[in-house]
Structure 1
Amino acid sequence: MVRCSNNLTGILNIVTFLLSIPILGGGIWLSNRASTDCEKFLEKPIIAIGVFLLVVSLAGFIGACFRVSWLLWVYLCVMFLLIVLLFCFTIFAFVVTNKGAGEVVSERGYKEYKLGDYSNWLQKRVNGDKNWRKIKSCLIDSNVCKSLVDGGEEDMKKFYSRHLSPIQSGCCKPPTECNFTYVSPTNWTKTNNLTANANGDCETWTNESLCFDCQSCKAGVLQNLKRDWKKVAVVNIIFLIFLVIVYSVGCCAFRNNREDNSYSGWKSHA
């Protein structure tokens, strides 16, 4: 008789199997419809996750419900490795996102960000020309700066009081210390009296390409990344607890399989 833990393991893996189908389908759909670098970047990880969940859930279901001990053993090994990797990634996410925060600007509703405030590991991810070209392409495709002017022109006082996202603050306008003259949210007149110690982003800014090649833009991306990784880390903790429970139930099912197989072997020799 199949024990309760075997049934529970089978049910949990059927649920995982059903979840893997829309994930895999979404990845395949994206691979056929992708037109931007951002979409192409996502398609392979999504397909890989979908295939992984599908294969592992099938192994767990067959191993538990049909008492195939070796398949259940493989399933438990994969689950153990997944738990270890997820635990390590969660710790890593908290460590690399521990540094960095926005600086409050006097009489402004938004904050500004500096690349040097973030961890060295994160800085290296955006400082490479190849990586930054892909990130910049995604930012441009998302029209993150166009959204600032969609509502029409607004006066300087109203713009300064706006709450901007880290990316909008870093990529769509020059740093406050540049002292440029405001014309519109994405149009500023440069001054000719920049000092030798002025922020390098002041020279990088143009009204055509905005500040997408500025250090402040990279810092804004990292601030967004930091916020998202914090959320992912919290979700990972909840998921880890779920995985440990599933793994424990799977271990009970594996023990049941071995006991049933031993009993069947003993009975056949009796």
Structure 2
Amino acid sequence: MALSNNVIGAINFIAFLLSVPVIGAGVWLATEPDDSCVRILQWPVIILGILILLVALAGLVGGFCRIQWLLVFYLVAMLVLIVLLSCLVVFVYMVTVRGHGHPVPSRAYLEYHLDNFSGWLKRRVRSSYKWDSIRTCLSSTGMCPELNQSYRMAQDFFNARISPLQSGCCKPPTECGYTFINPTYWISPIDIAADMDCLQWSNDQSQLCYNCESCKAGLLASLKKEWRRADIVLLIALIGLIWVYLIGCCAFRNARTEDLFRRYKQGYT
């Protein structure tokens, strides 16, 4: 029984370590400018990681200190958390399946359309109330001004691989036919009816294309890229937790069997 409990404790220490990348993924998302403006995924990930850490700690204590009810709590609670983490991994994958950028002539960067993204993601930015706060947050970052420092010539900018956010929010859509002055200042559109965003563009450095559909699409494209990376981390942690949980269940069952056998022998003798 003691050996089995020690095994359970050691296994739960691995589960304890597996909570670290989950929490780390949430913290990383919280530090990204776009995620910090939207605040959708990072807190569920961080909270789930902390819960996994606490439950693993309970299993660790229960294993080494031979506290039976704590081990039972660990088995039930960890199963619930594994199911929740599995749902989160699948959910993130499903909402980020759609939403690819499309190339434009004579440009190295991609442009994005809001209709290409999943309905759930689009609803996060469709509301004017939600977008007003997101837009204010995005405009306070230095992502657009830094383009002016990096690219002086039009061809250099056209050959740049700028981020989805910069592509959607810091310049007008290419199909409008604006003339480049600098990355955030454009004049003389050829066809302002080509896209509604053509009318939304403003050379006011506090406005730019933050009211454009392309800016919302660029934000979702950026979120998709970061969420996919975080989802890979969560998937690896999930596989590790499932493996640890199954071994822990086997060790707990063996410990129970040893305990029953010991009691039977004591009663028999």
> What interval of TM-score do these two structures reach, taking the shorter chain for normalisation?
0.7 to 0.9
Note the alpha carbon deviations across 1:187-207, whole angstroms, 9 max, x for none: 112438633xx3111111111
Match of 2:211 in 1: 213
Asked if 1:70 corresponds to 2:33, the answer is: no
User: Which of 215, 224, 227 is matched with 1:226 structurally?
Assistant: 224
Instruction: Say if 1:68 and 1:257, in contact at 8 Å, map to a contact too.
Output: no
Structure 1 range deviating more: 216-225 or 122-131: 122-131
Structure 1 range deviating more: 249-258 or 72-81: 249-258
Describe the SS at the equivalent of 1:144.
coil
C-alpha distance in structure 2 between counterparts of 1:243 and 1:18, whole Å: 10
Match of 1:167 in 2: 165
Q: Map 1:106-121 onto structure 2 (within 5 A).
A: 106-121=105-120
C-alpha distance in structure 1 between counterparts of 2:158 and 2:107, whole Å: 5
Describe the SS at the equivalent of 2:75.
helix
Asked if 1:38 corresponds to 2:73, the answer is: no
Q: How many corresponding residue pairs?
A: 257
C-alpha distance in structure 2 between counterparts of 1:218 and 1:185, whole Å: 19
C-alpha distance in structure 2 between counterparts of 1:100 and 1:21, whole Å: 30
Match of 1:181 in 2: 179
Match of 2:85 in 1: 86
Match of 1:101 in 2: 100
Give % identity.
Answer: 42
Match of 1:34 in 2: none
Note the alpha carbon deviations across 1:85-116, whole angstroms, 9 max, x for none: 22222222222222221111111111110001
Q: Which amino acid aligns with 1:191?
A: P
Instruction: Say if 1:67 and 1:257, in contact at 8 Å, map to a contact too.
Output: no
Q: Cα offset for 1:51?
A: 4.2
C-alpha distance in structure 1 between counterparts of 2:121 and 2:178, whole Å: 29
Match of 1:3 in 2: 3
C-alpha distance in structure 2 between counterparts of 1:226 and 1:58, whole Å: 33
TM normalised by structure 1 equals: 0.81
Q: Evaluate the alpha carbon distance shift between residue 90 and residue 205 of structure 1 in structure 2; reply closer, same or farther with a 3 A threshold.
A: same
Alpha-carbon RMSD: 3.3
Describe the SS at the equivalent of 2:2.
coil
Q: Cα offset for 1:219?
A: 0.7
Structure 1 range deviating more: 224-233 or 171-180: 224-233
Match of 2:51 in 1: 52
C-alpha distance in structure 1 between counterparts of 2:128 and 2:189, whole Å: 29
For structure 2, the residue ranges without an aligned partner over 5 or more in a row are 27-34
Describe the SS at the equivalent of 1:92.
helix
Q: Evaluate the alpha carbon distance shift between residue 54 and residue 98 of structure 1 in structure 2; reply closer, same or farther with a 3 A threshold.
A: closer
Instruction: Say if 2:59 and 2:70, in contact at 8 Å, map to a contact too.
Output: yes
Instruction: Say if 2:8 and 2:59, in contact at 8 Å, map to a contact too.
Output: yes
TM normalised by structure 2 equals: 0.81
Describe the SS at the equivalent of 2:180.
strand
